């Protein structure tokens, strides 16, 4: 059996009781170590808590060495641990498909992830549209496919959760070209970097998917003791000091419920100023007023 086990967001003890029981009985235990991190734990603390060895699974192993992970899973129990929920990244879907092709049984043990825990900021989960990912820009590479999805969400009034890039065990172009197994230090995108990149793409696309005054929420260390939210305009967030990772960003939709707004006031510097930006932003993509069809009797 291949077990996909969600670890939650922060602590070693965030794993479910059933998940912990599974980990303790498995022959091998892998920890997916590149799409996210447990903010209050590391490999050693997990091994101490589980009482057994944990094998780090980097991007190369998960995407190119799935057969190694799945080896013997027809007879033995193998655990694949994922920060958050197992299906928070498409890479894990690929692993499941490969296991099915090999006739390996699969069981999933779910847990909290950013996709549901983000509701702690006060925005209602069913008011979120498509989630997008934002990668670190380079001088020559500034992908903007996320922009169209934010635009679509905003047109129908929905909030957009923006997941910010993390780079773990990444090589520089020079080291990659020279075949040197030298890896750059881990990097985690901050809220202020994300805000600057979003505005850079808006300036080039100029479709007003959002503006410098669009209200947003910066989310820092969700699920940890240092969890923090900051409600401000996109421009204001370019100067925000978001602190230690992990971070994400929410672009508010055109329709903001009164209860959502009331909840967000706890995270703003100036309540009236923020309310003004929300009200102004609601004019964008506002549907035209309803015009009833002509009454046939009027033509008689």
257 among the known binding-site residues?
Answer: no
Is 161 annotated as belonging to a binding site? no
Query: Does 133 count as an annotated binding residue?
Result: no
Does the annotation place 199 within a ligand binding site? no
Is 248 annotated to bind a ligand? Reply is no
Is 36 one of the annotated binding-site residues? no
261 is in an annotated binding site: no
User: What is the Cα–Cα distance from 291 to 15, expressed in whole angstroms?
Assistant: 54
Binding site for S-adenosyl-L-methionine: which residues? 9, 85, 88, 113-114, 164, 222, 247
Binding site: which residues? 9, 85, 88, 113-114, 164, 222, 247
């Amino acid at each position: 059996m291949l077990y996909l086990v969600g670890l939650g967001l922060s602590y070693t003890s965030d794993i479910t009781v059933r998940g912990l029981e599974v980990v303790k009985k498995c022959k091998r235990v892998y920890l997916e170590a590149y799409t996210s991190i447990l903010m209050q734990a590391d490999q050693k603390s997990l091994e101490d808590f589980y009482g057994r060895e944990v094998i780090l699974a980097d991007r190369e192993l998960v995407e190119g060495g799935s057969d190694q992970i799945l080896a013997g899973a027809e007879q033995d129990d193998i655990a694949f641990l994922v920060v958050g929920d197992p299906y928070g990244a498409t890479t894990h879907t690929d692993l499941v498909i490969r296991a099915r092709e090999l006739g390996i049984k699969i069981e999933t043990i779910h847990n909290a992830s950013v996709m549901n825990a983000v509701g702690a900021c006060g925005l209602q989960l069913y008011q979120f549209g498509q989630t997008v990912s934002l990668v670190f820009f380079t001088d020559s590479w500034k992908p903007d496919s996320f922009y169209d999805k934010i635009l679509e969400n905003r047109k129908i009034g929905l909030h957009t959760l923006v997941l910010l890039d993390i780079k773990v065990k990444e090589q520089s172009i020079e080291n990659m070209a020279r075949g040197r197994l030298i890896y750059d230090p881990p990097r985690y995108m901050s809220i202020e970097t994300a805000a600057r990149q979003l505005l850079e793409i808006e300036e080039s696309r100029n479709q007003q998917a959002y503006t410098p005054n669009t209200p947003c929420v910066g989310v820092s260390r969700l699920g940890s003791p240092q969890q923090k939210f900051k409600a401000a305009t996109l421009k204001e967030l370019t100067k925000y000091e978001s602190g230690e990772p992990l971070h994400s960003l929410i672009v508010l939709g055109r329709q903001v419920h009164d209860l959502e707004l009331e909840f967000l006031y706890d995270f703003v510097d100036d309540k009236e100023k923020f309310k003004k930006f929300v009200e102004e932003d609601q004019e964008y993509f506002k549907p035209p007023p309803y015009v009833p069809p002509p009454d046939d009797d009027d033509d008689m």
